Amino acid sequence: MSLLAALVVLVLAPPSVTVLLPPSEPDAASEPTREAEDEPTNTEPTNTEPTDTEPTNTEDTEPSLPTEPDEQTPAPDEPPAPASIPPASIPRPVGPPLVPTEPLPPPRLTTPIHPLQVRWGITAPVVTTSLLGFALMETLGGHRAPPTVCTPPVDGSCPDLGPLEPIDRVALGHYDDAAAKASDALLYLSVAGGLAVGLAESIAWARAEGERGVAHHRRRGAARFGISTAIWAESVGVAMLTTNVLKDAVGRPRPLAHLGEPALLAEGVESDGDLGRSFPSGHATLSFSSTVAAAMLLTLEQCRPREGRRRRCGPRSRREKIVLGLTWGLAMAMATTTSTLRVVAGKHYPTDVLMGAAVGAASGVVIPLLHDRRW
C-alpha cells in the first residue's frame, strides 16, 4: 500500500529542473573593478559542466547583485592592488593664490672692484708708520751737527772727507741752483703724476662699468681709487723710510761739502745736518717709487680672471698697449731726469742716485705684487 502511494505522488508531482546560472558579471555601466585597473590576468574558463551539487531552486534563489570593487578579494596569485585615493582627499597647500609676476631681469655680471686685495689691518698701520717715520726723520735730519767742511788745498783735493770713487768725482766742484730747483719741481710732478694715473684709471673703469649697467658704478670707482692709492702710498712710504734710515746710518757728506765754507756761503747754502745725508738720494727714491708704483698698478689692474687657465695680465687692445707703454716710458723718463738733475746740481753723487733709484723701483714693484690675489 505504501509502495502504491509513493508511485502516485511521483507521477502527480511536477518534475524539478536544475538550472545552471552563469557567473555573475558586473554591469557595464558600473565602476571598473580594481582588477581592470591593474594588469589583465589570465583566468581559466569556468567549467560549465554540472557538478554533483544539490539542485538550486530558482524560485527560492534571489538574483545575484554585482559586488562593489572595494569588497572584492584579489586572487591568491595576484599582488594586492595599491589603494586608490580619490582626488578630493589629496591635501592641497594652504596659502594665498599664486599670482603671476613679471619675469626677473637676467643677472648682470659684476667684476671685483680691484684685482688686488688690501688687508686694511696690515696696510693701514704700514702706511701710517712709514710716512710718519719718514716725516719725523726728515725733520730731525736738519738739526744734526753738520759734517766736516772741506778746506781745499791748492791741488783741489779734500783729504778731510775721505776718498771718493772715480764715478763720484763728476759731482765735485760745482753747484747749480737752477738744476736743484728743477729737480724739486720734477719731484712734485712725479708724485702728482702717480696719483693722477690711479685716478684716471679708476674713472675709466667706473665709466665702463656704468655702460654695462652695473649699479653704483661711481661708488665702486671711488673704492677702486682708494685701494690703488693705499697700495701706492705703501710703496712710497716704505721706500722713503728705508732711505732715511740709510741716510742716518751712513752719514755721507754731500758734494757741496767739498766746496769749502766760503763757497757755501757764497752760494747761499747753509751748513746744517742735512749736508751730511747724501747717501742715498731721497729725490731719486721718491720719484722712482711714485712713478714705478703707479705704472705697476696700472699693469696689474689690467689683469682679468680667466676660468680654466692661469690669469693673464697685460693689455688686450691696441689702445691699452699704447697707454701702458706711455705710462712706463714717462715714469722712467721723469724719475731718471730728476735723479740726473740732483747730480748736476751738486747735491748728490752718482752712486747716491743709483742707490735711491734701486730702493724706489724695488718698492714700487714688490709692494703691489704682494697685494696680488694669486699669492
Say which residue, 29 or 250, is predicted with more confidence: 250
239: which residues sit within 8 A by CB, 6+ positions away?
285, 286, 288, 289, 359, 360, 362, 363, 364
pLDDT score for 97: 57
- Angstrom distances, CA of residue 203 to CA of 197, 199, 225, 290: 10, 6, 8, 20
| Cell numbers at 133, concatenated | 717715520
Say which residue, 45 or 206, is predicted with more confidence: 206
Distance separating alpha carbons of residues 258 and 173, to the nearest angstrom: 7
pLDDT score for 278: 87
Say which residue, 131 or 301, is predicted with more confidence: 131
Question: Which 3 state secondary structure label does DSSP give 272?
Answer: coil
Tens digits of residue pLDDT in 323-341? 899 999 999 999 999 999 9
pLDDT score for 207: 87
Mean pLDDT to the nearest integer, 227-246: 94
Tens digits of residue pLDDT in 89-111? 555 655 555 555 666 554 454 57
Mean pLDDT to the nearest integer, 185-206: 93
Q: CA angle, corner 150, sides to 145 and 154, nearest 5?
A: 170
Cβ neighbours, 10 Å, residue 172: 20
| Cell numbers at 60, concatenated | 527560492
Q: Answer positive or negative: Cα dihedral of 355, 360, 362, 367.
A: positive
Residue 269, classified by CB atoms within 10 Å of its CB into exposed (0-12), middle (13-18) or buried (19+), is buried
Distance separating alpha carbons of residues 326 and 193, to the nearest angstrom: 13
Per-residue pLDDT at 159 exceeds 60: no
pLDDT score for 366: 95
Report the range of poorest mean pLDDT among 42-51, 139-148, 308-317. 42-51
pLDDT score for 45: 47
Distance separating alpha carbons of residues 159 and 309, to the nearest angstrom: 63
Per-residue pLDDT at 318 exceeds 70: yes
Per-residue pLDDT at 299 exceeds 50: yes
Nearest to 127 by CA among 232, 229, 234: 234
Tens digits of residue pLDDT in 106-135? 445 457 787 888 888 999 999 999 989 888
pLDDT score for 213: 72
Mean pLDDT to the nearest integer, 28-51: 47
Distance separating alpha carbons of residues 225 and 231, to the nearest angstrom: 10
Report the range of poorest mean pLDDT among 140-144, 224-228, 278-282. 140-144
Question: Which 3 state secondary structure label does DSSP give 372?
Answer: strand
pLDDT score for 208: 83
Mean pLDDT to the nearest integer, 226-243: 95
Per-residue pLDDT at 295 exceeds 80: yes
pLDDT score for 16: 52
309: which residues sit within 8 A by CB, 6+ positions away?
none
pLDDT score for 317: 77
